[in-house]
Every structure is written in C-alpha cells, then in structure tokens.
Copies of this chain bind each other. A is one copy, B any other.
Amino acid sequence: MSGTKEIGRAMQGPRGTRDLYPAEAARRRWITERWREVAVRHGFEEVDGPTFEESDLYAVKSGEGILGELFQAYSGKSPDEVERVKATGRAPYAMRPEFTPTLARMYAARAAGLPKPCKWFQIGPFFRAERPQRGRLREFLQWNVDLLGGEAGSNLNEYDAEVISVLAASFASFGMSPADIRIKIGSRRAVLAACARYGAPPHLYGPDDLSPSLLRLLDDRLKITPDEFERRAVELALPDEFVKYCHPVDRAVVPLDATVSDIANIFGVSLAQAGEVYADYHQSGGLSECIRQSGFAHWCEYDSMVVRGLAYYTSNVFEAIAEGERAVAGGGRYDNLVKLFGGPPTPAVGFAMGDVVLANLLQDKGLMPSDAELMGLVGQTPDVFVLSNGDEGAEKQVRPLVASLRRGSRAPQDSGLRTQDSLHVRHSYKATKNVGKLLKEAAQIGARFAVIVESATEATVKDLRTGEQWADRVPIGDVGRRIAELVRGG
C-alpha cells in the first residue's frame, strides 16, 4: 500500500561515515565550539559555501585527476545529467573535499567590496573517496582559517604569524602544551633557492613553484626509508648536493626561541656562524619576530623537512605535528589562488584542521572530557528536574510546571540567544513514584536543581550541586523565581 518494503536488518551508514549519538554529537559540538571561539577571539568571521560544488572548481585547481579522489554527484531529476554520467562516468558536481577552492571563488566574486585583509573561518563537513582507516574517514569535519588580501605595503609575515597564532591558541584551548604538539614551519622559497643554488634540473622548478613530482618526494621524505628516498632522488635526476641538502637524515629543526648557542649546536657550526643564522631568523619584521610578538613562539620551530604536498602553496608552509609524526593541521601561504578563480592578485594564508585526527590525539592524551563532562561543557545538562512526592494532586502538576519553567516569563520579542529565565527542564517518563529513585535519575543526568511538587499548590527546591537542605515549601507559581534567586545567589 505504502510503496515500501520491510527490511529485516538494521541498515548501516556508508563505510567511513559516522552516526553521532548524543555522546558523539556532544564531542563534535565541544570541538567545533572551541574552534569557533578561538577564531572569533582572533577577529575572524564565519563564512560557508555549498556542501557540493561544480566538479570543474576542483579540476581547475588540481587537475582533472582529482575527480578520481572525490565523491561525484548529479541530479537524479535531470535526464541530461544522468545521460552525461552514463556516457562519461564523470558527474557535474563533487562533494567538497576541501574549502579553499570555495573560499577563493567567494573572495574572487566580491573582492572589491570585502575588507582588506579579509579574515574568514569556516567549519563544516568534507568528503573524500579514499579507503577509511584510523584518523581518516570518508566524511569528516574541518576547520578552515584564512586571511586574504591586505593593504599595499603590509608585512605578510604579520599575517602568517596571526594565522599561526590561531592554530597554537586552539591547541592551548584544548588543554595541550608545546610538549604535546609542535608547529613546524618550512619555506618553499628556501627549497626554491636550493634548487637554483645546487642546479636542480629545470623541469623540477619554476621561478615561483616546485614541480608536483619534487613536492611529492619532499613531502614523503619522513614516510619512506632513506634508501627509497635516494632511489627516487636519482629517478628525478636531482644533483648530489641538492639530495644532501634535503636528505631526511640531515633534518634541521630550529626552535623559534633558540639562542645563538642552540643554533651552533643544531648545525654544528661556530658561534660566529650561528650568529649569522640567528640574525637571519630574527630580522626585524621577519616571521620569527612576528610569531614571538604573538606569544606563541615556544610552540613553533623551523623544520627543513616541511614543504607540504599541495602544489598551490607559494611561500611559508606549516604543519602541526604530534608524536609519531601525526599531522593534525596544515597550511601555508597561497598567493596565486584567488587570481586563478578570476579575482585580483591576492596574497592569502590559511590552514585546515580535521576533527578525526584531533579527537584521536585528545583521546590518547587523556584530554577528551568524559561523556558526562561533555554534556555540561556544551550546555546540555538540565537546570531543573521536576518530580512529585507521589501525591495524586501533586503528580498532576508535574507536566504543567515543567512546561511553565521551560517557557519562562520573557516577552516574545526578546531576541537574545539564550533567554534569561526560561530553563532547561526535565522530568521522569518512568512509572515510578519513588522519590529516592527519581532524585537519583536527576543526579545522573547532571541536573542542577530538583523541584519536588508536594501538593496541588506547593513545591520544595533542592540544589543538587551543593546538596543544600530543602528550602521551605513555595507556591508552585513561585518556583521559577525561587530558582532564579538561587542561581543568582550561587
């Protein structure tokens, strides 16, 4: 009759996606609200774009091959689109794998009217078609923080430092310290200079960019054996001097707060030579100085191994790395992308952080709050739990009282996000009238107050956090006011 058939099993969600029951949803909310709070505190404004985009948007940025890594989509209602997909296997849309193309498109479309610089963040779902594994799902959340444009003559290192500050502040906000995670900064310009200095073959770099094959090798350095690295370096015909410069066993890591003698130790050079390197790292207006001014230098270090794999970065790049070389976030400067999408030449810097690796790391470090704590942290524990003492007249008052406390007394035109005196109220749906059991239920869900309706007209209030004595009986109509007083008082 209904055109449906019954199925005999509980269906699963698609492989590599998540069902968020209340505890998991609270965890997501906790993470996304902290991301948001940190971005807002640094003066970034929220934006968002469509969850799916035209496939061309990604092909323009990364080449047609990228579509093989994405979930492609088409309208089942459009015979045209269905026919095109059947003929070519290529769909007109793709579920977004990253935000940067959307961001560049949005900035390009309104560049003239936007503030300079333009500070945007975004939080939302992203998708990739790869095989799911620990830390990698096919649907995940991502936080994007980007700073685009700027007045002529502004120091771009200040912008890079501001974005890196947001990244470091977010880790602090999750309870981490520099011992837990390092922000490693690399320089594409330094690699380009080395290409020129050591005579790398011209097909491996241009005036402003490194070839995808060279980038891939450099980005893979720490994931492959030194032998494998050397084999691939020979394949690319890299000169010995360049191979030595970028060899994974010769990694140079220089903390941003390193002294001259630290640098002498790291590079095995004289203090005089180290002084020159130090001066180079610490020139006025340089990235180091800008990051030091932000107060986050102790989270950061230069690392010659960091180049990032994506083609579109143009200068400084950075990664947040936890133990075991886990990359929790990555970003860098991409000064050519807005122009690629039809906008004016626009300097830009940004990073992205996914929720899956972050949540695993917090879990491993013991920094993920318990389920009960999370409910409190995201504002989902009840203010009040209403029960009756079992008296029939009292029982009849439970639901109307619950409803009235939830409504509160505010005028409907008040437009604050959280109304002043409307309360988060629950009651038991269980048949039991046992006051002890009901109080236990109230405590279990973390309710702040219990209201026990004692008769058709009166109730008592108990503060479950302090365990404070029963107050005098109050008229049922005054319960809301009494609780407001208690909240203000404590």
Contacts and interface: CB of A to CB of B under 8 A. Distances in A.
Interface of A: 1-14, 17-22, 25-26, 28-30, 33-34, 37, 40-43, 45-54, 56-57, 60-63, 65, 67-78, 82-83, 85-87, 89, 91, 93-95, 102, 105-106, 108-110, 116-117, 120, 125, 127, 129-130, 139, 150-151, 153-154, 158, 165, 169, 172-177, 206, 209, 211-212, 290, 293-296, 311-312, 339-343, 369, 373, 377-380, 382, 399-400, 403-404, 406-407, 412-419, 422-426, 429-431
Contacts of A21: 47, 106, 110
A169 B174 CA distance: 34
A177 B425 contact: no
A50 B65 CA distance: 26
A380 B40 contact: yes
Given A72-B74, A342-B9, A377 B416 contact: yes
Nearest to A3: B63
Given A45-B25, A293-B403, A424-B43, A173 B71 contact: no
Nearest to A176: B412
B7 A60 contact: yes
Among A14, A116, A127, A209, the one with the most B-chain Cβ atoms within 10 Å of its Cβ is A14
Contacts of A25: 45-48
Contacts of A13: 49-50, 53-54, 102, 105
A5 B59 CA distance: 9
Contact of A71 (B10, B73, B379): B73
Contacts of A369: 415
Given A73-B73, A295-B407, 19 more contacts: A1-B211, A3-B65, A4-B340, A9-B342, A11-B57, A11-B341, A11-B342, A25-B48, A29-B46, A41-B422, A43-B424, A43-B426, A68-B77, A85-B85, A86-B86, A117-B429, A165-B403, A169-B407, A293-B399
Of the candidates A65, A312, A418, the one having the most CB atoms from chain B within 10 angstroms of its own CB is A418
Contacts of A94: 76
28 contacts: A1-B209, A4-B62, A4-B340, A10-B342, A11-B57, A11-B108, A14-B54, A17-B52, A19-B50, A20-B48, A20-B49, A22-B120, A29-B46, A40-B380, A43-B425, A45-B380, A52-B95, A68-B77, A71-B74, A76-B129, A77-B129, A78-B129, A85-B85, A86-B89, A125-B125, A177-B412, A295-B403, A295-B404
Given A34-B417, A50-B13, A169-B407, A77 B7 contact: no
A151 B20 contact: no
B125 A51 contact: yes
User: Quick one: which of A8, A83, A150, A399 has the most chain B CB within 10 A?
Assistant: A399
A130 B21 CA distance: 30
A249 to B, nearest CB: 29
Given A78-B129, A413-B175, A52 B14 contact: yes
A60 B373 CA distance: 38
A2 B377 contact: no
Contacts of A51: 17, 51, 95, 125, 127, 139
Contacts of A72: 73-76
Nearest to A130: B77
Contact of A45 (B22, B294, B406): B22
A50 B95 contact: no
Contacts of A127: 51-52
Contacts of A311: 2-4
Contacts of A177: 412
